[in-house]
Amino acid sequence: MSDPKIEGLELKPGFKGMASDTASDQTMFKGVHWGKAMMWIFLLSDTFVFSCFLIAYMKGRGSTPVEWPNPSEVFALDAFGVPVPLLLIAIMTFVLITSSGTMALAVKYGYEKNRKMCGWLVLATAMGGLTFVGMQAFEWSKLIHEGVRPWENPFGAAQFGSFFFMITGFHGTHVSIGVIFLFIYSYKVFAGHYDTGKRGWFTTMKGDYVEIEILGLYWHFVDLVWVFIFAFFYLW
């Protein structure tokens, strides 16, 4: 991103520069697009949402009198007749993290105004997200088939089912919303809306490749949250 160089705006070294920059006029974060700043603050707020969910999960797991089920058994998948713990989850996590990589490349090509590469990479990210959601649907249906419900659970504490479906569902909703936007954005990239500055359908704001980066921020966040959910549900 090439910012126009503005006289008198160069950073002074050290804390002094940081302080004068922070408290200066017009903008606090120099050269940061409004939408990008908005996404960061939204993600901060969303972090609190997921933190509340995970803290509630820890408290719920701690206070239930019934034994918590063993995740390596519940989440095992039969491969060639042998139950392999965490197999599906490992693949899901791999797919999601890979999609973060393609997203980062899409941002790079976007700023280079490489319309084709950017579009294909956004589309690849969308496909990765879709695969993830699909595998999650498979995992849910497997658990439901085995009798796990939000209100009961044959393997142990009923809260296991409640928290699992609620938190992975809430995360899955985030991924699905991301996938929808990725498809829309890949269309917009291929159609050249960001090259011509075509105005948005609803917002009437001019299109710009920075939107790819903003969506990228969201996508990386969703992946990061997954890492925590993975650790708390599958490894604990």
Partner 1 sequence: MSEEYENNKSSYQAQSSETISGDGASSAPDMDYVRPAEIGEQDLYHGHSFITKWIFCQDAKVIGVQYFLTAVFTGIVGLILSWLMRLQLGFPELAGFMTAEHYYQFVTMHGMIMVVYFLTALFLGGFGNYLIPLMVGARDMVFPYVNMISFWMFFIAVAVLMASFFVPGGPTGSGWTLYPPQAILEGTPGSGAGILLMLISLSLFVIGFTMGGLNYLITVLQARTRGMTLMRMPLTVWGIFTATVLAMLAFPALLVSSIMMTLDKVLGTSFFMPTILKAGEVLEYGGGSPILFQHLFWFFGHPEVYIVALPAFGIVSDLISVHSRKNIFGYRMMVWAIVGIGALSFFVWAHHMYVSGMNPWFGFFFATTTLIIAVPTAMKVYNWILTLWRGNIRMNTVMLWCLGFIVTFVNGGITGIFLGNVTVDVPLSDTYFVIAHFHMVMGIAPLMVIMGAVYHWFPLVAGRMLDEKLGKWHFWITFLGAYSIYFPMHYLGFIGVPRRYFEMYDSPYMTSAVGMNEFISLAAFIVGAAQFILIYNIIKTLKVGKPAGKNPWKANSLEWHTSTVPPEHGNFGDRLPVVHRWAYDYSVPGANDDFIPQTTPPSEVINTEVEKT
156 is a contact residue toward partner 1 (CB under 8 A): no
The tokens describing 178, both together, are: 């991301």
Check binding of 42 to partner 1 (CB under 8 A): yes
Binding of residue 144 to partner 1 (CB under 8 A): no
Q: Which stretch binds partner 1 (CB under 8 A): 16-24, 84-92, 102-110, 124-132?
A: 16-24
DSSP code string of 101-150: HHHHHHHHHHHTT-HHHHHHHHHHHHHHHHHHHHHHHHHHHHHHHTT--S
Q: Is 67 in the site for partner 1 (CB under 8 A)?
A: no
Closest approach of Cβ 65 to partner 1, in Å? Answer: 6
Taking CB under 8 A as the criterion, the residue among 2, 5, 15, 63 binding partner 1 is 63
Query: What is the distance between the alpha carbons of residues 11 and 218, in angstroms, rounded to a whole number?
Result: 28
Task: Find the binder of partner 1 among 2, 5, 65, 78 (CB under 8 A).
Answer: 65
Give yes or no for a contact between 168 and 230, defined as CB atoms under 8 angstroms apart. Answer: no
Residue type, 11: L
Considering the complex, what minimum distance in angstroms separates the CB of residue 98 from partner 1? Answer: 29
**Cβ partners under 8 Å of residue 199, min gap 6:** 205, 206, 207
Quickly count: other Cβ atoms within 10 Å of residue 193's Cβ.
19
Tell me: does residue 162 bind partner 1 (CB under 8 A): yes
Contact between 5 and partner 1 by CB under 8 A: the answer reads: no
Q: Which of 4, 130, 101, 176 is nearest to 109 (CA)?
A: 101
- 184 binding partner 1? (CB under 8 A): no
Sign of CA dihedral 126, 131, 135, 141: positive
Tell me: does residue 59 bind partner 1 (CB under 8 A).
Answer: yes
Give yes or no for residue 44 binding partner 1 (CB under 8 A): yes
Residues of the shown chain interacting with partner 1 in the complex, contacts defined by CB under 8 A: 6-13, 22-32, 34-35, 37-38, 41-42, 44-46, 48-49, 51-53, 56, 59-60, 63-66, 150-151, 157-159, 161-163, 166, 170, 202-206
